[in-house]
Structure 1
Amino acid sequence: MIYFIGDWLPEANDLNLDGIFTLIDTFDQSEIDYKIIIPKFIPFLRYAWNEHGFFDENHVVQIADYLRAFKTTMDLPMTAAGLDLANNVEKIYGNSGILLMKNGQSYGKIQFNKYGYVSEVQFFLNGRHKQVDFYSDHGFIYRTDYLDAEGNLTEAHIYSDQGRRMMHIRSEGINIDDNLNGVFEQETYQSFSDIYHEFLRHTLVDFDRRNDQVIVDASKVELVEMLAQVDMQLNIIYLLNDSTFNSLSDDRKKDLLAQGQVVVESRHVQRELAKFASGKTHLIPTFPTEINFGTSNTTVKQDIFWQMDQVDDDLVKRTFDYCLKQDTVSLSIEVGVLADVEHFEWLTDRYIVDNFGISFKDMNENLEIELLPKELLKRVGEANSLKNRIKVHFGLPENERLAIIKQARLYVDLTGRPNNYVHALVASTGLPLISTYQSQYLSNGRNGRLIQAGDDVIKAFEYYLEQDSHWNQALVESVSIIEANSITQLSNEWRKLLYEISK
């Protein structure tokens, strides 16, 4: 049996970027048997999973199941109308929730999650928080926090779905008030970590060291430490993504290798870890690819999708020069900082002033364009054409980013950081991939180029956008990249690894 130890936010928006969630999906589609163990109570997690087309309670063991306290017949989350509020409490609706007023004074606030249900209700005392009730996705209060005048937590209560107080938490520790079904081994605990350890020991009681494995995301420090402190002999596989690797100290890397096997998603990281221990690092990319070709062959327009975390003004100017020469080329740029959207607009306006002698900002809105002198009218048309071919984005939703990728002719990644999820999407569409970061989805010279400087970017534009044969060859090469990272291939790699380390 494969046990995944998971920890997600209640309203996770980026599960597709989560390595453990992606691997669970791969195992599920490949019919590899597994269990998901969630040591924490995470309300509304099933809603987040359902959004991504996945939730099978038969595979999931949550701490709530262990406590056997939240097996409620209520299955609907709480709504504002369902709250038991006094008749003299007035509701004032706002963008961030509902403000509660009582006798002309602020009495509390109802907050909602992204699904539109009540997530918490705050009650105020003299304008400060006094009490916060947290609601589960089954519609009952599962926790109440009490805060002092400065907003510091003084005490918390945990409840069952029947309103029975199971435990109360103070600075000195946790007291068990109602030992439901005798599941707690102690009457008091120093912290929740002790309860989590107890839960893991019970859940993994049938762990077979000959055949079973525990898989955990190495970026989840609390879970990693939790497993290290559980008094059991476990076979642990750490999923180590490139971003987490870059943030770890050498001592932390050595600890992971000493405690278990490590699966990485790039050859570079595999080589670096091999310096500390050989034979315990395994390369299996996280995100599977599938043939999902784009539509750029159906239009004359050649759109470049470009991700950057820092704006290089000189490179942007040279890119505008290229777009000016190639009137079929357009730019869809996603920046990493909101302020860069405004900076890009300034660069565009500055470029148009310098090259066309035109300032659209200074033009009279009531100006009759058709009455302009012919020569000026021509310049206005060319400048407007260029401006309309430059789109700048920040924080693109996943579906919008994918739509841009599907329509693009070329992808450029100048973020300089691990970007494996997007690289997998791009490889699946068959786009030439130009990047300063080497992922397993980029084969230099085959389906794209690994670059270093701004000059390389312009050369890549010329190579792939001006010669259809070069673009077509990259598309052909992409097919082998897609096959090498398909869900079938990745699941086979996992089966092979699980077999080898169990021998």
Structure 2
Amino acid sequence: MYYFVPSYYQKTGKWRGNSWVWYANRSMREFDDIVSQIKMFRAAEKEVTLVVSCYIPDLRYYLHRQGLSGIRIYSLFDQIQGVFSYAPGLLMWEDLDWPEDMEWVYTQFLIMGYQDGVHVVNIEFGPESYLLWIDRFEQKEKVCRQIYDDRGFLSSEIIYRDGREVEQIFYNTYGRKTCTYDLVQGTVLVKGRDGLKKYEKMEDLVRECIERYFLEQKKKCGSSGVLVLSASTFHNRLFLEGSGDIVTILSCYSERNTEQTDIYQIKMAIQGEYKKTPALVLVDTKELKEKIVENERFIKIEEISPFDTRLKLGSSQRIRAKKIFLPIQGLNNQREIIKIIAQYMEKNLDAELVIAFSEPGWGRQEKIEEEIKKLLEELDITSFSLETKNSPIVENAQQDEEKVVPARVKVVRYLTEQDVIQHLEDIRLLVDLRDSPELYLQIAAISSGIPQVNLSQTRYVRHLKNGFLLGSIDELFDTLCYYLDGLSNWNQALVHAVEDIRLYTGGSLVKKIETLLRK
């Protein structure tokens, strides 16, 4: 059995997972090394359990978004709350008991409730429109947040005083209080068979649950399991000291382990500062490996680049259009870059440009479209136009068809990983010329076999293998020709992606990891 421990924590230090209202700007992507590795081990038909050590009541929706539905789960907070087996059910906000005189206002983002003209309730929803939480107000002050489990019951309440969180009360599926967390003092009261038990801090309760769980697993399965621990300052010590003698792999991820405290704790773990030293360390980049390992003779370390198997490999060559994906948020020299791409498009009638941005906000897309339209006019582009809601449909033009200018440029917004997956489905080339190319876009492009063009050295892109590193913007036109004039060079990038993904999905990397653990 492989036990995977993810790092889903908020930075509040209150042992909460990342739950978002549907309209939030999620700058941090959900996909990470642990998601990638779980899929890799499942593809190799290994038994896998996800051990979740933070409070995340919408966990099942998260797993569904990542393609991990049906995975075996052990949740520490389910244990704390006394939720041992509960059939998921759909809970609608209308099913709750509401006063008859409640008046509802439906806004673009949430539902607001009023009594006698006074605002008393906000109802918030998650990305898949499920009930996430309900905020209650008294005299314009928030006094309580009721958080609902995605299995259909009230999971906890956060109590506010003077605008501050002071207490969190956890419930079981019957609505009975099982645990009270003092958010000011940090103490925890848990109701058990022998009455109330007090813990000085939540970390002590989490440690006890970890020790109990792995002791029970050892009795059931012996010492044959492997713990794959995502490196995190929240739980490194807890799991390395509380999981017993189970063989442990420490997984480090460059997007998560960015702070000096992360690197310091990883080094402590490698150097044996805790009760148990990892038998193997996994990293996603050479750069991270160099930061954490000073002497490889004392530690076994393996570099594994993550892949996202939700993307389809190499589907863009089946269509005639050669679509170029250009993220512009934070992009310098936008005018010059779009001008070069436009020059290529004028000579290649099958080329199309998808301009992408990830900023939230109403009206933002229309503003960008107006800027792009103005730029195309300034560049005197006449052979193609910008696609908008009012663009004419060329196929339906009945008269003067030759005068209809095809719309070969469009603007799209991506806020979630699912948006990225959808937009990249038929893209032929990713051109990310920002100073810091977006990590998940790189992973998604590699996972779907799309070559990418960068101006800065990146973690995952290998020059002339799965992408192209420009020396300057002046090389962009020739690079577009290199990948889009025919399929030969494009196919080479696809071959490299296929080889990497075959290692990932075919079980070779899993066998290699198991061999390293046996040495």
Q: TM-score, normalised by structure 1?
A: 0.79
Distance in 2 separating the partners of 1:157 and 1:389: 55
Measure, in 1, the Cα distance between the counterparts of 2:510 and 2:270.
18
Q: Is the 8 A contact 2:435 2:456 kept in 1?
A: yes
| Aligned residue number for residue 371 of structure 1 | none
CA distance in 2, matches of 1:389, 1:285: 34
| SS of the residue 2:234 aligns to | helix
Identity %: 18
One-letter amino acid of the counterpart of residue 129, structure 1: K
Alignment match of 1:434 (pick from 453, 456, 466): 453
Q: Quick check: 10-19 or 318-327, which moved more? A: 10-19
SS in 2 for 1:227: helix
Q: Indicate yes or no: 2:482 matched with 1:482.
A: no
The answer as to whether partners of 1:72 and 1:138 remain within 8 angstroms in 2 is: no
Q: What SS does the aligned partner of 2:353 have?
A: strand
The structure having more radius of gyration, on CA atoms, is 1
1:2 partner letter: Y
Residues 419, 23 of structure 1: alpha-carbon distance in 2 compared, 3 angstrom cutoff: farther
Task: Tell me, in whole angstroms, the C-alpha distance in 1 between the residues paired with 2:123 and 2:368.
Answer: 38
In the TM superposition, what whole-angstrom CA distance separates every residue of 1:4-43 from its partner, at most 9, and x where no partner exists?
1134434699987222122212212211122211123321
Match of 2:149 among 136, 139, 146: 136
From 197, 203, 218, the equivalent of 2:207 is 197
**Higher mean C-alpha displacement, 328-337 vs 342-351:** 342-351
Is the 1:410–1:432 contact (alpha carbons within 8 Å) kept by the matching residues of 2? yes
2:340 alignment counterpart: 318
CA 1:285–1:320: 2 relative to 1, 3 Å: same
Structure 1 CA distance for aligned equivalents of residues 491 and 141 of structure 2 = 60
Structure 1 residue 475 displacement after superposition: 0.3
Distance 1:418 1:399 in 2: 19
- Distance in 1 (CA, whole Å) between partners of 2:266 and 2:87 is 45
Residue 501 in structure 1 maps to residue 511 in structure 2: no
Moved more, 195-204 or 122-131: 122-131
Code of the residue aligned with 2:68 in structure 1: it is F
Aligned pair in 2 of structure 1 residues 349, 210: CA closer, same or farther (>3 Å)?
A: same
Matched, 1:472 2:488: yes
Between the aligned partners of 2:428 and 2:167, the Cα distance in structure 1 is 57
Cα contact 1:39–1:199 (8 A) shared by 2: no
The residue number in structure 2 matching 1:457 is 476
Compute the displacement of 1:480 (Å): 4.2
**Larger deviation, residues 14-23 vs 457-466:** 14-23
Which 5+ residue runs of structure 2 have no aligned equivalent?
9-17, 272-276, 391-399
Q: Structure 1 residues 229 and 410, CA, compared in 2 at 3 Å: closer, same or farther?
A: same
What is the deviation of 1:227? Answer: 2.7
Partner of 1:372: none
Contact 1:266-1:285 within 8 A present in 2 as well? yes
Contact 2:227–2:249 (8 Å) recurs in 1: yes
- Please, which runs of 5 or more residues in structure 1 have no aligned partner? 366-376
| Contact 1:311/1:340, CA 8 A, preserved across alignment | no
Residue deviations 1:289-326, cap 9 Å, x none? 79732244542x43222335413133333333333344
**Per-residue CA shift, 1:222-252, capped at 9, x if unaligned?**
1335335648455432222233455446535
- Is the CA contact 1:5–1:38 (under 8 Å) kept in the aligned structure 2? yes
8 Å Cα contact 2:503-2:509 kept in structure 1? no
> Cα gap change, 1:424/1:136 in structure 2, threshold over 3 Å: closer, same or farther?
closer
CA–CA separation in structure 1 for the residues paired with 2:30 and 2:188: 38
2:235 aligned with 1:223: yes
Q: CA deviation at 1:266?
A: 2.9
* Contact 1:288–1:424 under 8 Å retained in 2: yes
Partner of 2:5: 5
Secondary structure (helix, strand or coil) at the match of 2:74 reads: strand
Give the residue type in structure 1 aligned to 2:413. Answer: F
Task: Find the residue that maps to 2:498 and give its secondary structure.
Answer: helix
On the 8 A contact 2:7/2:230 being kept in 1, the answer is no
TM-aligned CA deviation for residue 472 of structure 1: 1.3
3-state SS of 1:493 partner: helix
Which residue of the partner structure matches residue 119 of structure 1?
Answer: 132
C-alpha distance in 1 between matches for 2:130 and 2:421: 29
Checking the alignment, whether the CA contact within 8 Å between 1:169 and 1:175 is kept in structure 2 is yes
How many corresponding residue pairs? 474
Say if 1:121 and 1:454 are closer, same or farther in 2 by CA, change over 3 A. same
In structure 2, the partner of 1:408 is 427
Instruction: Kindly indicate whether the alpha-carbon contact (under 8 Å) linking 2:54 and 2:76 is maintained by their aligned counterparts in 1.
Output: yes
Counterpart check, 1:293 vs 2:314? yes
2:327 to 295, 302, 307: 307
Once residues 121 and 415 of structure 2 are traced to their aligned partners in structure 1, the CA distance between those partners, rounded to angstroms, is 34
> Does residue 238 in structure 1 map to residue 250 in structure 2?
yes
TM-superposed deviation, 1:131: 2.3
Instruction: Quote how far apart the aligned CAs of 1:196 are.
Output: 0.9
Q: What is the SS of the residue equivalent to 1:242?
A: coil
Distance in 2 (alpha carbons) for counterparts of 1:402 and 1:304: 15
Change in CA separation of 1:497 and 1:418 when aligned onto 2, cut-off 3 Å: farther
Amino acid at match of 1:294: S
SS where residue 204 of structure 1 aligns? helix
Taking a change above 3 Å as real, the CA distance of residues 123 and 328 of structure 1, as seen in their structure-2 partners, is closer
Tell me which residue corresponds to 1:56.
70
Q: Which whole-Å deviations, capped at 9, do the CAs of 1:426-459 have from their partners, x for residues lacking one?
A: 3455444323466686442344322232122222
Mapped partners of 2:374, 2:468: distance in 1? 31
Q: More helix per residue: 1 or 2?
A: 1
Q: Give distance in 2, aligned partners of 1:432 and 1:55.
A: 30
Contact 1:287-1:421 within 8 A present in 2 as well? no
Q: Which amino acid aligns with 2:306?
A: T
